[in-house]
Amino acid sequence: MHTIFITGTDTGVGKTRVACALLRRARDRGLRAAGFKPVASGSEHTPAGLRNEDAQALLAESAPGLDYDAVNPVTLEPAIAPHLAARAAGVAIDPLRLDRAYECLAAQHERIVVEGAGGWRVPLNDRTGFDDWVAARRWPVVLVVGMRLGCINHALLTAEAVSRRTPFAGWVANLLPPGQPHWEENVETLRQRIDAPLLGIVPMHASVDVAATQLRWPDETAATP
């Protein structure tokens, strides 16, 4: 499984932490792996230009030798939905540009972890959403479920929507503060209703090191370090 796409039940559910942990796990297996944040909104001006915190985290967990722009080709300042951030910046997000950036990474790496923005159906422009772009490439999707009130409905709806468009490779339960009462029962409810494997449970406040030991790639048979 060369490439996986990470989406979430919502924004702020831990997509970046899971993506970084999967990159760490791939590299621990001796694979040359790279993160890819095709579009990042909510970026800050630095002496090197606009930089996004999530994209920088992916870059730090990628195989050495990559420039920032290789990991995040479209960087937008406003912390709003990508299509709105692009409109505010006076630019258009062209999926062909994202394709070219991905192909450059894919030619040099054995594993690519692509992280979306927000949830599954976030628009990229007036015509295309992340769901359309990923479905056109038939990338397997990993869903990060933030374990909080409302997650069951969000997770089941997203899993259904993903499965209609592209392979659904599995899901991750990410424990969020302040802590969901009865989270174990919620995980079991989702396990019974989602027709894809649970790839791991990430403890609250877990470091990338710890998270990597709790997860497995969809093509691994067991969650062994």
Kind and range of the H or E element at 65?
none
User: Is 37 a residue of the active site?
Assistant: yes
β-partners of residue 75 are 40
Residues in the chain: 225
Which of 15, 17, 24, 37 is labelled catalytic?
37
β-partners of residue 170 are 142
- In 70-161 the beta strands, taken as DSSP E runs, fall at 74-76, 111-119, 141-147
- Taking residue 27's Cβ as centre, other Cβ atoms within 10 Å add up to 18
Cβ proximity of 20 and 61 under 8 Å: yes
Kind and range of the H or E element at 46?
strand 44-46
Residue positions annotated with a catalytic role: 37
